[in-house]
Amino acid sequence: MIADEMRERLAVLNPSRLEIIDESESHRGHAGFREGGQSHFRIRITSASFGGLSRLQRHRLVHETLGDIVPRIHALALELAES
């Protein structure tokens, strides 16, 4: 499952909080929806790794950490905070 892959990869950021929410069902009938989910995600993560980084730098770090997962999904919402 994509959520499990995300959790494994994001572990390198040593999060004090990590929530990966599959919001696919709420997008039924919209672009990118796939039966069975795994297309729209929200990630809430709090990590000391974000210290001193701008909002854009935090987003880039998460995207780089997720790597080839990002192009395999339709939408990714990020809520990132420094611990």
Q: Sketch the domain layout of the chain as residue ranges.
A: 2-82
pLDDT in tens, 54-65: 999 999 999 999
Q: Give me the CATH code for the 2-82 domain, please.
A: 3.30.300.90
pLDDT attached to residue 38 = 75
pLDDT above 70 coverage of the chain, percent: 84
pTM attached to this predicted model: 0.85
From CA 78, how far away is CA 13, in angstroms rounded?
14
How far, in Å, CA of 83 to CA of 72, rounded?
Answer: 29
The pLDDT score that the predictor gives to residue 39 is 81
pLDDT, tens digit, for every residue of 10-45? Answer: 999 999 999 999 987 665 656 655 665 678 899 999
Backbone angles phi, psi at 62, to 5 degrees: -65, -45
Say what the pLDDT of residue 45 is. 98
Residues with Cβ within 8 Å of 16's Cβ and at least 6 positions away in sequence, in order, are: 46, 47, 48, 83
Q: Looking at residue 24, what is its pLDDT?
A: 78
